[in-house]
Structure 1
Amino acid sequence: MDSLTQFVLGAAVATAGLGKVAGVRKAAIAGGLVATLPDLDVFLPFADPVDSFVYHRGWTHSLLVHAALAAPLGEVLRRVLRIGREHRWRVIATVLLCLTTHALLDAMTVYGTRLFWPLFPDPVGVGSVFIIDPLYTLPLLALFVWVLVRGKWSRGVERASVAVLVASTAYLGLSVVLQRHSEARALAALEARGIQPDRLLATPSPFNTAVWTVVAIDGDRYHTLYPSIFDGDAPPVIHSHPRGANLLSCLGPNAALAKLAWFSHGFLAAEREGDDVVVSDLRMGLSPAFVFRFAVARVAEHGLDEMTPPRRVLSRQRIVEDDLDWLGKRFAGEPVGRPAEQEAGAPLDGDVGDGLSVCRAVARKSGKIATLPGRV
């Protein structure tokens, strides 16, 4: 989640845990700062943009690392706040909660968080909450401001902090229910069109949990649907796009692609932009304006050359006025397609031909077609 949300969540946890013994203002500010610590990994050096993408939310977000650091950090905090030794375990428990709630909240987004590093290196990403969600953040922010203004511990502060934490956690639970509902509606719409996807994932559209973005991988295509909780009986519109499977199959042993395939769980698409082969993570952004896109290879006379290091490529399109109008209609439950995408049944144009010609070039040189690494 965004830094503000993580700060005010930590502030709420520390207010509930330490407000009585440290004072609510000091507890809230200290809790917010402790909860920010895991995101300091953005200052760690990485070898290239792909490593920076896939290894963010790494060991600094591990629950095992948090358990190991809670005692020393708690002792430092106890001395800074001048809390007596009789409250040592309360301080340690609060520090642990500030750190772990940060990681667990991040894991609710689709980006992925390595919660169990180093025992289990794969990232966990539920994907039921957008990285910025006002409905989740605003109650926590209101509590933080109120605590700063009030400045004194009371039963009211205790009840308010617990109530906000319970309500915000319940909202996360509701988001999972809505996610499963959206996936079920999208799968039913696809199956009605005779489409059996290889994998399917629903994530919230920006800043809400009412309109969802569903991405379905179907061989050399991917489909996007946008179910709304305000829809009636009409199925969501299906938009279909080429996934660049020919280009992906020609890339062969490619370190950057292997990492992206592992991190995205196969939700990838490739396209040719000039002489570059650009791979996009389909889970983040609205097609074709994906947030994380990387040039991983370059077209050469003999086929494709791996790009070392890979390069981050900015999206060619951002949310435009048509998207805002469309999103408003989806909030109203109107069954309309997204203007920026083609509807189902449109020709799968793009770089299919280019991919085939490159494959033939690779085949002529090596005598075989390379296979894609990872889980794509």
Structure 2
Amino acid sequence: MDSLTQIVLGAAVGEAVLGKKIGNKAILYGAIAGTIPDLDVFASHFTDTVSALAMHRGFTHSIVFSVLFAPIFGWLVSRYEKYKDFKGWSWLFFWALITHPILDAHTTWGTQLFWPLDLRLAFKTIFVVDPLYTLPFLVCVILVMFQNRTSKKRRLYNNIGLTMSTVYLAITFLLKSLAFTKFEKALQRENINYTQLDTRPSPLNTILWNANVETNDYYLLGDYSFFDTKNITFKTYPKNHDLLGDLLENEKVKRMIAISEGWFTINKIDDKLYYNDLRFGLMNFEPNSQDFVFRYLIDVDNFGNVNFIEEEKTQRDGKKLIWSLWERIKGN
């Protein structure tokens, strides 16, 4: 999830663990702990794109990391804070650290919660930014901050925030199931034979859902809003994996394919190859759009070294996406 959401979750967890004993400092340290796992993003400054993607939400988002570092952070804080309970601080950091990857596991990217096992847990029930999850939760945390640390209202507001956010996460599983069923029926109606069907919420909401469908030679991309009145239609995207040629045997290309779980297409434009990660869909809902959220130029230098260069998005692209989403959420 985004940084603000993880700060809010960490703050609420910190409050639940030590709020009654240390007041708003529990919120402060919980918020800090809630952001620590995402420090792995700095790997992008020291390594190539593929390695950075492989590391993201890896070790720092694991149970192992939480178990190892919670007592370390707990010991450090207990050395200079007036509240000296090492066990209490360790529990605060553990729960704030571990809830971060558990929440991230609900997103499309997922987490390697069970690192070092090569297993990425991704429920794909909530987008990385979801105001309906975050904003009510944030309001509750703010209300908590203005209450006396022994106040019953303080615990009440915090419990309401934790409960509402948890219930919302549970509801997203139901919404995903309903959307999945809709896509299944649409494929049956069209007599489409497929090997895989993958669904996920579109950005910023859980009303509009996207689907990736794999067949032998191509992918189908579809979308469905709970306000739709017309049948689901699918757009066809050839795989074009053969365009990679000998690059299919390149280790970096193999790693990229593994990272995207095999959901990718290749485009050739002006003799340049582009790698499209289908897991995050398109920037708009226009017919035959090739404007994928994550698109990479496959750059091969004179020595045969392969690099993936991400195609950057602009603020204008973001505004266009939001407008396109709003129009599509309202139904077809």
Aligned residue in 2 for 1:208: 205
| Residue 195 of structure 2 is aligned to residue 193 of structure 1 | no
The CA deviation at 1:84 is 4.0
Does residue 292 (structure 1) correspond to residue 290 (structure 2)? The answer is no
Cα–Cα, structure 1 residues 39 and 21, in superposed 2: closer, same or farther, change >3 Å? Answer: same
Task: Report Cα offsets for 1:113-169 as digits up to 9, x if no partner.
Answer: 111111x12322221111110011112211232233335441111121122112101
SS at match of 1:112: coil
Aligned to 1:246: 242
RMSD, aligned CA: 2.5
Q: Secondary structure of 1:277's match?
A: strand
3-state SS of the aligned residue for 1:209?
A: coil
Is 1:170 matched with 2:167? yes
Unaligned runs of 5+ in 2: 283-288
Q: Which one has the largest radius of gyration?
A: 1
Q: 1:288 to 1:180 in 2, by over 3 A?
A: farther
Structure 1 CA distance for aligned equivalents of residues 80 and 179 of structure 2: 47
Which of 77, 96, 102 in structure 2 is aligned with 1:104? Answer: 102
The partner residue of 1:273 within 269, 283, 307 is 269
Kindly provide the CA deviation profile for residues 31-67 of structure 1, in whole angstroms up to 9, marking residues without a partner as x. Answer: 1001111111122354311211222111111111211
In 2, Cα distance between equivalents of 1:38 and 1:299: 34
Is the Cα contact below 8 Å between 1:254 and 1:306 reproduced in 2? Answer: no
For 1:231, which of 216, 228, 232 is the aligned residue? 228
Runs in 1 of length 4+ with deviation above 6 angstroms? Answer: none
User: 2:307, 2:330 → 1: CA distance?
Assistant: 46
Matched, 1:260 2:256: yes
Q: Match of 1:337?
A: none
Task: Tell me what 1:49 maps to.
Answer: 49
User: Given that residues 123 and 263 in structure 1 are in contact (C-alpha distance below 8 angstroms), is that contact kept between their aligned partners in structure 2?
Assistant: no
2:92 matched residue in structure 1: 94
> Amino acid of the residue matched to residue 106 of structure 1?
D
Unaligned runs of 5+ in 1: 335-376
Q: What is the CA-CA distance between 1:280 and the residue it aligns to?
A: 1.2
Distance verdict in 2 for CA 1:315–1:20, change over 3 Å: closer
Match of 1:4 in 2: 4
**Structure 2 vs 1, CA of residues 250 and 190 (structure 1 numbering), >3 Å: closer, same or farther?**
farther
- Determine the structure 2 residue equivalent to 1:127: 124
Q: What CA deviation, in whole Å up to 9, does each residue of 1:160-199 have, x standing for no partner?
A: 1122112101111111221122122112212221212221
- Counterpart CA distance in 2 for 1:299 and 1:312 is 16
* 3-state SS of 2:248 partner: coil
In structure 1, the residue matched to 2:65 is 65
Most deviating of 255-264 and 145-154:
145-154
How far apart are 1:219 and its partner, in Å?
Answer: 2.3
Q: Return the structure number with greater relative CO, CA threshold 8 A, min gap 6.
A: 1
**Would you say the 8 A contact 1:11–1:30 is kept in 2?**
yes
The one-letter amino acid of 2:3's match is: S
Q: CA 1:308/1:299 → structure 2, altered by over 3 Å: closer, same or farther?
A: closer
Q: Deviations over 1:284-308 (max 9, x none)?
A: 14153323222235599xxxx9552
5 Å matches for 1:143-182? 143-150=140-147, 152-182=149-179
Residue 36 (1) aligns with residue 61 (2): no
d(CA) in 2 for partners of 1:309 and 1:131? Answer: 26
Asked if structure 2 preserves the Cα contact closer than 8 Å seen for 1:185 and 1:235, the reply is no
> Residue 110 of structure 1: SS of its match in structure 2?
coil
User: What TM-score results when the alignment is normalised by the length of structure 1?
Assistant: 0.79
In 1, Cα distance between equivalents of 2:319 and 2:78? 50
